[in-house]
Each structure stands twice: as structure tokens, then as C-alpha cells.
Amino acid sequence: MDQAENLRNIVKQHNQEEKGNARVITVTSGKGGVGKTSVSINLAIQFRKQGKKVIIFDADFGLANIEVMFGAIPKYNLSDLIYRGKDLKDIIVKGPLDIGFVSGGSGISNFGDLSKDQILYLVHKIRELENMADIVIIDTGAGISSTVLDFVVASSEVLLVTTPEPTSITDSYSLMKTMNKHPDYQKEHMVVKVIANKVSSYEEGINLYNKLDVVVSKFLKTNLEFLGIIENDGNMSKSVIQQKPISITYPESAAARDFVQLSDILLERKESFEREKSGLAYMFAGMLKKTVRR
């Protein structure tokens, strides 16, 4: 039996196993600088304040935005788990309010070099990670790189962060368009929820959403869902300078209150039906399939 067939059998076995317990929310954007990582961290804080166990998986490889805002530098990452025998507890860093944080490192792109035993170990550990949290937030890179798209199309719940800047709207549409062409994209198994960041009012946020939704529904034949807004708040810049999330530094600020509302809506709107695609381990299984096809 060759390596490719081994990989296929491993993925098939994984898909037949019981799904992980955690709800997985993927946060993405069409371009950088729109506040994607801030959304990931502040939502995690609000979920935690409501008693949820939360782990953030940093899939924005090569950058350290979450590390900086958390004030927690990971000693080990996913590569150390795969290649250097580190345990799951070794690669989880604790941030504010005991929120877990896992850095993907650079090993995520090297699945093609993994042995059968390494793949089995990785899938097992990812499932173990899912069972340690109520919610896992995936903070992807910005843009339409293959790694970003792999994570997004493997997700059932995606938060798309955009701003009123024309380039942000255009890049958000480009992300949706490229995702629509991805061979693994299944619109019936995905909900894309738009967050309008850095807006002056709810009305501006709705208008921003409508502009994006019109072109997406017309040309891509798919619909978006409006989740809510984050008001343009000067305290956000102050919190960034302090390297602390606004939900902690300025909990009564307009933006922090918006994060409270967004987290409330997400918890209320949790999809009640079972999806074929569910969980962080499923995402990695999808990436293994892609490796097999090469």
C-alpha cells in the first residue's frame, strides 16, 4: 500500500469517528488591517466572560499579532507537537481570563512530509484539543492565500470582517469569489456572517453589508448574513498601544459593548442542525485530503 493510499485510509477513518465537542468559528478578512485579530481576541474574551472555555488557534502563520495583544509568547507551536514530541499542554499558552492560545507555526504547510504515525498522532491530538474547549476560534491570515482558503472552505461558520474602505469591500468580494471557485467549497454547509468594523453607526454597517451582499448574491449566487457592527472607537487604538484587548482595558467603551452584543448574538444563533463539516479535526482532515491529491 503506497503513502497516498495510507493517507486516504487515515482520512476516511477520521471522518467516521465521533465529531469533536467544540464549536469552531473561523475569523477571516479579504485584506489586512481591518481588525480581524482584534475581533478574534475580543470575542474570545466575551465568550469567556459568559462561562465558555475558549481556545484561539492562530493560523496567521509568520505573524505574531495575537501573541502581542495577549502579552503571551508561545514557547512551542504545532510543529513542535508534530516533529519534536511535545505534548498538547506544552503548546497551549494561557492568555487573559485563562483563554487558551495555540500557534500554528510553520509546520502546517508540511503535511506532505508526514508519516502515517505522525498523521494519526496529529488528528488524535487535534480531536483532543477540541474536547478541551466549548469554542475554538480560528484566526486566519488575511487575503486569499491557499492556506487561508483551506481553512475557510473547511469551516461551517465563518466571520468575515470588513470595513467601509472601498478596498476592504473589494477584497472581501475577491475572497468570496476565490472561495466560490475552490474545489472543496460547499455553500450548503457554510454560513458566512459579516461583521462591519470601524463604522460610525449601525446604519453605516447595514449599508456596508448590503453593498457586499448585493454583488455576492448576484454574481456568486450565494447569500451572506449580517452579524453586526463594531463602532469606530478611539479607545481601540489606545488598547493596541497598551497591547491589551479593548474588552479588558476599556470594558465600557462603545467597541467593547459591540463585542458583547456580537458574542450574545453568536451564542443565541448557534446552528441547531448537524452539519457534515464540523470541528477543527475535520479541517485538518480536509488538508490531508488536499495533500493526497497532489
Q: Give the C-alpha separation, 17 to 130, whole Å.
A: 13
Amino acid identity, position 168: S
- Reading phi first (left if > 0) and then psi (alpha if -120 to 50, else beta), residue 221 is in left
Q: Give the C-alpha separation, 20 to 220, whole Å.
A: 31
pLDDT of residue 272: 44
DSSP for residue 60:
-
Q: Give the C-alpha separation, 237 to 44, whole Å.
A: 19
* Nearest-10 crossing angle of helices 280-293, 146-153: 130
Q: Identify the three-state secondary structure at position 102.
A: strand
Q: How far is CA 196 from the centre of its chain?
A: 17
pLDDT of residue 186: 83
DSSP for residue 139:
E
Q: Give the C-alpha separation, 42 to 99, whole Å.
A: 11
Instruction: List Cβ neighbours of 87 (8 Å cut-off, separation of 6 or more).
Output: 81
Contact status, residue 4 vs residue 116, Cβ threshold 8 Å: no
What is the rounded radius of gyration, in angstroms, for the C-alpha atoms of the chain? Answer: 18
Dihedral sign (CA 213, 216, 219, 220): negative
Q: How far is CA 90 from the centre of its chain?
A: 21
DSSP for residue 20:
P
235 closest CA partner among 205, 208, 258, 216: 258
Instruction: List Cβ neighbours of 257 (8 Å cut-off, separation of 6 or more).
Output: none
Burial 180-215 (b: 16+ CB within 10 A, else e): eeeeebeeeebbbbbbbbbbeeeebbeebbebbbee
User: H-type helices in 108-245, by residue range?
Assistant: 116-130, 146-153, 166-180, 202-219, 234-241
Length in residues, the chain: 294
Q: Give the C-alpha separation, 259 to 34, whole Å.
A: 15
Instruction: List Cβ neighbours of 67 (8 Å cut-off, separation of 6 or more).
Output: 58, 73, 74, 101, 103
pLDDT of residue 144: 78
pLDDT < 50 regions, the chain: 1, 3-4, 272-277, 292-294
